[in-house]
């Protein structure tokens, strides 16, 4: 899913090509989907940019909260205590390239079906705490850009590809 753009524009673009239905069907069928940067943010119920609320995909069995403004342009590590996702296996001490104006700073997970398990959420800090990655079955999403994160990003993508097979 898209790695660059404003929340509202990305949602509009996804709607125009019927991608919301296609992505939803892939996830429901256990087929892999990866979101990068704003591709992570649009998974949430809504995004708020410049005071404008835009409905998001709201995927998953959770109440996911809106993005909040937070400028971030940095190479950052993710503390081991917050790195739970399998995508990070073998790259525990690496740094990743973050560049975003908004980020998800609040996560309220409300499982409505006892058989459901909570997604694995990885947090990072740069001025404040924010969601760096989410893994939930076939769905993987990162706030950072693995494609711009050098060897660490390539290793993360390789880890994700290994889960496909």
Q: Where are the domains of the chain?
A: 7-162
Give the burial string for 19-54 (b: 16+ CB within 10 Å, else e).
bbeebeeebeeeeebbbbbbbbbbbbbbbbbeeeeb
Fold of 7-162: Rossmann fold (3.40.50)
Active site residue 147: yes
pTM (2 decimals)? 0.81
The catalytically annotated residue of 37, 49, 72, 94 is 37
Query: pLDDT tens for residues 79-122?
Result: 654 455 678 888 878 889 888 777 777 666 555 554 456 678 88
Is 100 marked active-site?
no
Catalytic one among 50, 72, 125, 147?
147
For the segment 8-18, the average pLDDT, to the nearest whole number, is 94
pLDDT at 165: 67
Please confirm, yes or no, whether 145 is among the known catalytic residues. yes
């Amino acid at each position: 899913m898209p790695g660059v753009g404003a929340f509202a524009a990305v949602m509009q673009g996804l709607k125009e090509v019927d991608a919301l239905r296609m992505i939803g069907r892939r996830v429901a069928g256990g087929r892999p989907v990866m979101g990068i940067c704003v591709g992570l943010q649009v998974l949430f119920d809504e995004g708020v940019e410049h005071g404008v609320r835009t409905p998001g995909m709201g995927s998953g069995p959770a109440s996911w909260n809106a993005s909040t403004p937070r400028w971030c342009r940095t190479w950052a590590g993710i503390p081991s205590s917050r790195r739970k996702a399998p995508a990070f296996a073998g790259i525990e001490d690496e740094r990743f390239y973050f560049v975003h104006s908004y980020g998800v700073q609040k996560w309220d997970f409300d499982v409505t079906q006892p058989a459901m398990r909570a997604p694995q959420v990885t947090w990072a800090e740069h001025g404040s705490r924010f969601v760096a990655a989410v893994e939930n079955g076939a769905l993987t999403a990162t706030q950072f850009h693995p494609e711009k994160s050098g060897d660490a990003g390539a290793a993360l993508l390789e880890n994700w590809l290994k889960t496909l097979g």
